[in-house]
Structures are given as structure tokens and as C-alpha cells.
Chains A and B, each alone.
Chain A
Amino acid sequence: MSTLTEAPPPLAPEAPGPKPPKRRGRWTPYWLLLPGILWLLVFFALPMVYQASTSVQTGSLEEGYKVTWHFATYWDALSAYWPQFVRSVLYAGTATILCLLLGYPLAYLIAFRAGRWRNLIMILVIAPFFTSFLIRTLAWKTILADGGPLVGALNTLHVLDVTSWLGLTAGDRVLATPLAVICGLTYNFLPFMILPLYTSLERIDGRLHEAAGDLYARPWTTFRKVTFPLSMPGVVSGTLLTFIPAAGDYVNADLLGSTDTRMVGNVIQTQFLRVLDYPTAAALSFILMAAILLMVTLYIRRSGTEDLV
């Protein structure tokens, strides 16, 4: 994401004599940019305009829709679907925190403790990507199955009593509860947390750890005062790369959840593809986009890290 905030490109000092032919045309960069940027303008930026226009249209599928600047759609959509919005933020936020807690030790292990196993562990982190994520998400149906060994063990250890008290599970089931959805989200986006964390941890000079030790810092103090602050760019981009896709996801809520765990992505999908209520769906999608962009901007400002990834 350093694309946003990079320094001007390092240009080679012009050598005397024949001018480097590669920089001959003022127009060359524009020709290089043209096809790709045109593609993004037409198929990324223009659709946003169409979506905004669709959201203020009224009409019906049979008679067609017309722009009537009907902003009430936004209000209606929000008042009808605010629980799904809240759920999206809560589930995605919880999954992001869990990803950070689970991913940090693994990234730390790969960066500092793995030795000659480093490449192998790295491959094992990336390799699951090559099995379709839908198949892997379906595997969680087996793992979390009612009466399966995992649910049985959680029941015996009275973990499920605690989680049902928190409202995360219901009775002795895990499937079709918020816990299952959060578990699926955490699993699906964990690699997006681990990779940026690893990248920023790997850059840390090992001598800093030694120096901290020489100055009588205990391991925990070293971590809190040296390692963690230096890994902040990884933490920021990891949380963004986890939270953004998790907040818009509807696959986990659909496959592992129930009608009580529907997120805003599920609503957009149903309104667009089944109910065919395009204005409402476009309004919801627009609100989601605005909310995410706002959160991301505030978060990047607050964390003060500008060079991500």
C-alpha cells in the first residue's frame, strides 16, 4: 500500500553525451499508463458512479428505474438493516483481534525462531490458499459438527457454557452460531495478518534485541518496548487487510451461520441477486464503502503509519 505515499522515483543522473533513449518522450509514461488506468476507470471508478445513481432511483423491475433523488432509500435501508451493519463490525472486529493474537506468535516464530525451518513454515502458511477457500470453509462444518469431538470436548470443559452466556453460542451447538462465523472469518483472513506482520518483523535488526538484553530488559520488556513498536507497520496493514474483507464477507455467515448471524454482505447479496431491489442494495453497498473508507482513513491517521505493506 506504499503506493499512496511514496517518494518521487529515483531517477538516474543524466549522463552527458547521447541522451538515454528511454526517456525520450514526454508522453511515454502516459502511453504506458493508458490501457490499465482506462480499465480501472471504466470498470472500477465508473461503476461507483452508477451505483451512487442507482441508489437514488425509484421504480420497479417491470417499469424500469429512474433517478428521482430519493435519498429516503438510505434512511430506510439503515433503519431496516442496522443490526446487520452492527454485526458486520462486531464480527469483523473480533476476528481481526483474534487474527492479531493468533498470527503474531506465528509471524514471530518464522522471523526469529524458525532457523532452517523458516521456508517450510512459510510454505505451509501460504499453501492452503491453493485449495479453494470455499472447500476449506466447508471443512469447518465437519470440524464444528454437532456431537463431533471438538464440540464434545468444549462441552465437557464447560467452555460452551461461558460462550453461550456471552451470546456467542446456543445450547451445545457451535455451528450456526456467531462463534462459528467468527471462527471462519478468523481462519479465512489469518494469512493476510501473518504475511505483513512477518515482513515488518523480519526487517528488525537482531542486534536491537541483544542491546535490550544487555541493558537488562527482560524478554517481555524487550518485546513491549522494542519489537512491538517496530512491528507497527505490519500490525496496521495486517489489521486493515483482515478487517476490510471480513466486514464485507458473506460466505462465512452463509455457510457456517444461521439467519441470526447475517451480515451486511448477506443483505447486499440477497437484495441484488434474489430480491432484485437494486436501489436498496446499491444504497447499502454505498454505506458500507463510505463506512470502510472513513474507518480506514481515521485508523491510518491515528496510528501515524503512512508506509504500509
Chain B
Amino acid sequence: MPFVNWLKRNLVVIAGLLTLAYLLLPNIIVTVFSFNKPKGRFNYEWQQFSLDAWKDPCGVSDLCGSLSVSLQIAFWATLGATLLGTLIAFALVRYRFRARGAVNSLIFLPMAMPEVVMAASLLTLFLNMGAQLGFWTILIAHIMFCLSFVVTAVKARVMSMDPKLEEAARDLYAGPFQTFVRVTLPIAAPGIAAGALLAFALSFDDFIITNFNAGSTLTFPMFVWGSAQRGTPVQINVIGTAMFVVAVLFVLASMAVGHRRNRQKA
């Protein structure tokens, strides 16, 4: 039975590909339904092909406004979390100090906490302080939960760094600032970039913490959540599809660049 043998050998491959299909199915649906022309207010049933939404992605009120709010928050949250997180990562890898265990726990706990708990407790703080909920409270919250992920990403990279490279730079009479900028930073850069990318994605797509602390400010995920109650415009599928395509192209392009660099080195 050659077929049964083939099946036995490739069972794990088939199971894996089925899981991959399960992961990608919703994205396929999102893309297909961005070309739909729904009858009612909800875009859940296929009616007929149309390019209307693609021609007018901002045609729904508040949608592009919320998208711009989300991008701004994600930008500043990424900047803040990457800066603070990188400093912590360097301190953790490069120095011995007291209270190390406490610092480590403080960084680990936000990652091990259900989002709704952080969201609710932060809201009690803001309510008690009488803070005005809005752009700033969202930004504060996003920097808080992105911070730990940046620390983890940067730390992994800095830990695997060869300390001899910095010693060599010092032996060649580089000052501390020069060593940091010309040697340390370039080597740590991929870790910092990975942390920043992760922070951006987390912040841009965050819903639960934002939902608690947004007040009347509308981010893109909040817009989608509201539209699930009131009616889902086709335009959200257009945005979802465009983000997916841009991300895949970005990754493919960066891989191609890396490939070429490796070839040039070889």
C-alpha cells in the first residue's frame, strides 16, 4: 500500500497545513468580502462583486479619523516604549545591581496578566486621580504594556553580543560615546527594531485596554467594535486587507534585501 505509507509519513505535514489553512481562512474571507456589495448594514453575506469600497476607503464617517488616531498613538507608544525598554534591557544585561529580582518580576508581570485586569485597574487609577480619559490615557496605557515586550526583545539580542567587540573598540582608543554609537548600537539594532515592531503592532491592534481607558476618543479597533453593533461597512475589510498586503510585502522586501547583503558578503 504505497499510498497508506505515503500518508503515514506525511501525516504531520498534512495536519500542519490544515492548521495553516485554519489560520489563514479568516484573512481570505476578509479579502473576498472587501469586494462585496452588501444589501443591509452588515457585511456578513456575499451579494455581488463591487469595487466601491476600494475606490472610497474613507467613505464612512469616523473611519479614517480613527485610523489616524491609532497610527499616532502607535507611533508615540512605540517611541516611548522602545526608549524606556532599551534602557532597562541594557541595565539588566550590563550591570549588577540590587533589587534585580524585583525589577525582573515587575517586567514579567504585565505579560502574565490578563489584559482586562490591567485595563480595569488602570481605569480605577485614572478615575481616582480625576484624569480626563482620552488620547493621553490611551498613550500612557500603551507605553505601559508594550514596555515589557521591548525589554525582552532587546535583552535577548544584547545578551548574545560578544563583549570582546566593545573591548576591541576601546583598545583602538574609541571613547565611551564612540564605542556605544559605532559598535554597541549597530549590534543591538536588530533587537531594538524587533522590539519596536512588536510594540507598534501591539499598540495599533489593542482593543481591551483601550476600550476601558479611551473615554470618547475613537481608535481603529474601537471603531470596528462599534461597527459590529451598528453595522459593518465594507471599508473595514478594505483597511484590513491593505494592512495585510503591506505587511507581507514589507517582510518580503526586507528578506530580499537581507538575502542580497548576505550574497555580497559571501
Contact assessment for B114 and A265 in the assembled complex, using a CB-CB cutoff below 8 Å? yes
A259 interface residue per 8 A CB criterion: no
**A74 at the B interface (CB under 8 A):** no
Residue of B nearest to A296 (CB): B112
The reply to whether B163 and A12 form a contact with Cβ atoms under 8 Å apart is yes
Once the chains bind, are A50 and B240 in contact (CB under 8 Å)?
no
| Contact among A21, A36, A133 for B88, CB-based, below 8 A | A36
Contacting residues, chain A, for B30 (C-beta < 8 A)? 131, 135-136, 139
Q: Which residues of B contact A191 (CB under 8 A)?
A: 23
On whether A109 and B240 interact (CB within 8 A), knowing A4-B105, A35-B87, A132-B220, the answer reads: no
Lowest 6 A-B CB distances belong to which pairs? A248-B114, A109-B16, A130-B247, A29-B95, A36-B84, A105-B15
Residues of A within 8 A of B108 (CB): 1, 3-4
**A136 contacts B27, C-beta separation under 8 Å:** yes
CB of A106 within 8 A of CB of B19, answer yes
Nearest chain-B residue to A246 (Cβ)?
Answer: B114
List of B residues within 8 angstroms of A289 by Cβ: 113-114, 117
Choose among B116, B118, B232 the residue with the greatest number of A CB atoms under 10 Å from its CB. Answer: B116
The reply to whether A32 and B13 form a contact with Cβ atoms under 8 Å apart is no
Choose among A6, A23, A140, A293 the residue that contacts B112 (Cβ–Cβ < 8 A): A293
Q: Mark B118-132, 1 if CB is under 8 A from A, else 0.
A: 101111110110000
Q: A36-B85, A124-B20 are contacts. A50–B124 as well, Cβ < 8 Å?
A: yes
- The answer to whether B23 and A32 touch across the interface, beta carbons within 8 angstroms, is no
Q: Which of A30, A187, A251 has the most CB of B within 10 A?
A: A251
The A interface, classified by DSSP as helix, strand, loop or mixed, is helix
Cα A114 to Cα B166 in complex, Å, equals: 38
Per a CB cutoff under 8 Å, which of B24, B144, B208 touches A44?
A: B144
> Chain B contacts of A249 at CB under 8 A?
114-116, 208
Question: Is B29 a contact of A142 with CB atoms below 8 Å?
Answer: yes
| Interface magnitude class on chain B | 35 or more
Question: Residues on A close to B: CB < 8 A?
Answer: 1, 3-4, 6, 8-12, 15, 20-23, 28-30, 32-33, 35-37, 39-41, 43-48, 50-51, 54, 102-103, 105-110, 113, 119, 121, 123-143, 145, 187, 190-191, 240, 244-245, 247-251, 255, 265, 268-269, 272-273, 278, 281-282, 285, 288-289, 292-293, 296, 309
Q: B97 is contacted by which of A6, A30, A130 (Cβ under 8 Å)?
A: A30
What per-residue 1/0 map shows which CB atoms of B235-250 lie under 8 Å from chain A? 0110111011011100
Residues of A within 8 A of B179 (CB): 22
How far, in whole Å, are A41 and B114 apart by their CA atoms in the complex? 18
Q: Give the CA-CA distance A251 to B45 in the complex, in Å.
A: 21
A93 CB, min distance to chain B CBs, angstroms: 14
Pick out which of these stretches binds chain A: B52-60, B147-155, B185-193.
B147-155
